[in-house]
């Protein structure tokens, strides 16, 4: 699949959605091959954790058990048998049995609960089995808000297991309030929940094989905001990647006004202090405060229907002005989930962290 990308560390430029006018930029068509994987093991110690459990517990103990759950859930919503079978066929296509079983045999996946200030938060760690060396760590910051966008088994199989299989330890938080009944502490969409991300760095020494001097971070959609906010706290990250990331929340309201309701429900003092609260969550206004030693990969679909691609383009322009190391990748005619370029985007991600970690 062909795509356009831009890399730079200095100089000025003008950029449209798909057109770059500067001979100093590298514009390349690339064909990626599949990467090989090896295995590793690293179990998280329980000293700072309140509980741990395998991700492959019921209803994910086996592929047939997972499929049975999907079938039961589908049958409750759909009565037409043909549509039920079509839905199950689509599921099997997206998540093949052989793939699930391969990851179950070669990866360790644990969920855990941990304290973040006064909040009790859910997290997870995924890593290869049977390694005799330390592995670099990637902190994964999910998108969405509250339970919406939480990291479930489908997200793990589709996005995180492949990343861990490339010899990385993947660690992430679900953010406070997620999977909790009547939670005392709620997701504040870039407020106190940022502490849930930075707290993970204090837990990493509990993973014996984690190379804590080789930490990367990836944020998808809202997770990009979380990543920038975490980096503002001088955490030891060597490289960042954002996918469909938002960097200007106030401007985003022009193209997606429905987010106003999310902001109002999630962000404390929103009605009284809207502009300041959104500005504080918009990295485009304070990216200069983040360490210049952190290279940033910006990936976006041209036709992103949720987070306008102008976000990543604007951030690239600002990083260029600041003479920071970055790479901008825009996938023509693709959307928020990069469905047409999923494999290419994954290879970009792996190459970025392989290079910088």
**How far apart are alpha carbons 247 and 244 in whole angstroms?**
10
Kindly state the DSSP code that residue 119 receives in the 8-state scheme. E
- What pLDDT score was predicted for residue 322? 98
Token pair 């005392």 is at which residue? 184
Domain limits, the chain: 4-56+107-356
For the chain, what is the mean pLDDT?
89
pLDDT value of position 23: 27
Whether the upstream peptide bond of residue 59 has omega within 30° of 0, thus cis, is: yes
Start-to-end CA distance of the chain, whole Å, equals: 26
pLDDT digits (tens, 9 = 90+) for 178-234: 998 878 899 999 999 999 999 999 999 999 899 999 999 999 999 999 999 999 999
CA distances from 340 to 68, 99, 246, 277, 301 (A): 29, 20, 21, 35, 9
Helices 63-77 & 97-106 angle (0-180, nearest 10): 130
Distance between CA atoms of residues 319 and 310, nearest Å? 14
**Average pLDDT of the residues in 76-92:** 94
Integer Cα distance of 281 and 256 in angstroms: 17
- pLDDT, tens only, 15-63: 333 323 232 233 222 222 223 233 334 455 556 778 899 999 999 999 9
pLDDT score of 8: 55
Task: Answer whether 169's CB lies under 8 Å from 136's CB.
Answer: yes
Per-residue DSSP letter, 33: P
How large is the average pLDDT for residues 288-296? 98
| 302-349 pLDDT, tens digit each | 999 999 999 999 999 999 999 999 999 999 999 999 999 999 999 999
Neighbours of 27 (CB within 10 A): 12
Q: What is the pLDDT of residue 25?
A: 30
- Residue-level pLDDT at 295: 99
112-122: pLDDT as tens digits: 999 999 999 99
Q: 74-78, 151-155, 218-222, 284-288 — which is least confidently predicted? A: 74-78
| Predicted pLDDT of residue 303 | 98
Q: Is the pLDDT of residue 140 over 90?
A: yes
Please say whether the beta carbons of 176 and 192 come within 8 A: yes
Cβ atoms 265, 179 nearer than 8 A: no
The residue ranking higher by pLDDT, 130 or 90, is: 90
pLDDT recorded at residue 44: 58
Alpha carbons 208 and 19: distance in angstroms, whole number: 46
Q: Against a cut of 0.85, is the pTM above it?
A: yes
Q: State which CATH number among 3.40.50.150, 3.90.870.10, 3.40.50.1820, 1.10.287.10 fits the domain covering 4-56+107-356.
A: 3.40.50.1820
Residue 170: the pLDDT is 99
What pLDDT is stored for residue 50 in this prediction? 80
pLDDT class of 13 with cuts at 50, 70, 90: very low
């Amino acid at each position: 699949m062909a795509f356009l990308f831009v890399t730079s560390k200095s100089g000025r430029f003008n950029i449209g959605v798909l057109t770059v006018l500067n001979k100093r930029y590298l514009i390349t068509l690339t064909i990626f091959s599949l990467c090989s994987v090896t295995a590793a093991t690293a179990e998280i110690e329980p000293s700072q954790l309140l509980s741990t459990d395998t991700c492959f517990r019921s209803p994910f103990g086996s592929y047939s058990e997972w499929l049975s759950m999907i079938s039961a859930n589908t049958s409750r919503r759909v009565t037409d048998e043909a549509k039920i079978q079509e839905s199950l066929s689509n599921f099997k296509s997206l998540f093949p049995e052989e793939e699930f079983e391969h990851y179950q045999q070669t990866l360790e996946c644990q969920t855990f609960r941990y304290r973040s200030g006064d909040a009790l938060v859910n997290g997870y760690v995924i890593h290869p089995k049977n390694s005799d060396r330390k592995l670099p760590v990637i902190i994964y910051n999910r998108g969405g808000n509250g339970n919406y966008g939480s990291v479930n088994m489908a997200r793990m199989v589709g996005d995180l297991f492949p990343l861990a299989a490339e010899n990385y330890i993947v660690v992430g938080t679900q953010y406070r309030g997620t999977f909790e009944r009547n939670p005392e502490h709620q997701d504040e969409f870039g407020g106190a929940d940022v502490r849930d991300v930075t707290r993970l760095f204090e837990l990493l020494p509990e993973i014996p094989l984690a190379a804590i001097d080789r930490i990367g971070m990836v944020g998808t959609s809202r997770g990009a905001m979380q990543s920038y906010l975490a980096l503002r706290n001088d955490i030891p990250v060597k490289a960042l990647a954002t996918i469909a990331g938002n960097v200007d929340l106030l401007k985003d309201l022009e193209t997606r006004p429905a987010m106003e309701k999310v902001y109002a429900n999630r962000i404390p003092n929103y009605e009284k202090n809207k502009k300041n609260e959104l500005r504080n969550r918009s990295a485009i206004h304070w990216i200069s405060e983040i360490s210049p030693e952190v290279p940033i990969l910006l990936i976006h679909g041209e036709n992103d229907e949720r987070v306008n691609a102008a976000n990543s383009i604007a951030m690239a322009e600002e990083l260029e002005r600041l003479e920071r190391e970055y790479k901008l990748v825009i996938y023509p005619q693709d959307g928020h989930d990069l469905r047409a370029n999923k494999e290419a985007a994954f290879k970009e991600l792996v190459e970025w962290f392989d290079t910088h970690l």
